[in-house]
Amino acid sequence: IALYPASYFQSKDQARQCLQWERRLELAMENGRYFDLRRWGIASKTLNTFFEKEKDVIYDGQTYAQYYKDAHFTAGKNEYFPFPRDYMVVNPNLKNVLGWEGVE
C-alpha cells in the first residue's frame, strides 16, 4: 500500500474523489456506506446505476438479482423513511414529509 501521489490533491474535487474511493473500499458491504452516499448527495445516482447493472445478471445459472428489476431510488424521498403509523397516532401533529405524505 502506497500513499497517494501529491498530484491527486491539486483540487478539492480530486481530493473528494480520493476520499470517496477510500470510503467505498473501507465500508464495502456495510450500512455506513449508504450514509456517505446520502451525505455526499450521490445516493440516487450510485444506487440506480447499481440496480440497472445488476438487474439482469445471472450467477451460476441463477437469477439472484431479479428483485432489482423494479428497484428505484428516488432522490428527495428515499433518503429517509416515513414515520411509523403508531408514532403519528400518538402525536397527531407529526406529519410525514419528503414525498411520504399520506403514507401510514
- pLDDT tens for 26-69 read 888 888 888 999 999 999 999 999 888 888 888 888 777 777 88
Sign of the C-alpha dihedral computed for residues 53, 33, 2 and 18 taken in this order: positive
Phi first, then psi: what are they for 59, rounded to 5°? Answer: -110, 115
Q: Is the pTM of this model over 0.75?
A: no
Q: 13: which 3 cell numbers?
A: 474535487
Distance CA 46, CA 53 (A): 11
Distance of CA 99 to the CA centre of its chain: 17
Q: 67: which 3 cell numbers?
A: 428483485
Most confident of 14-23, 67-76, 80-89: 14-23
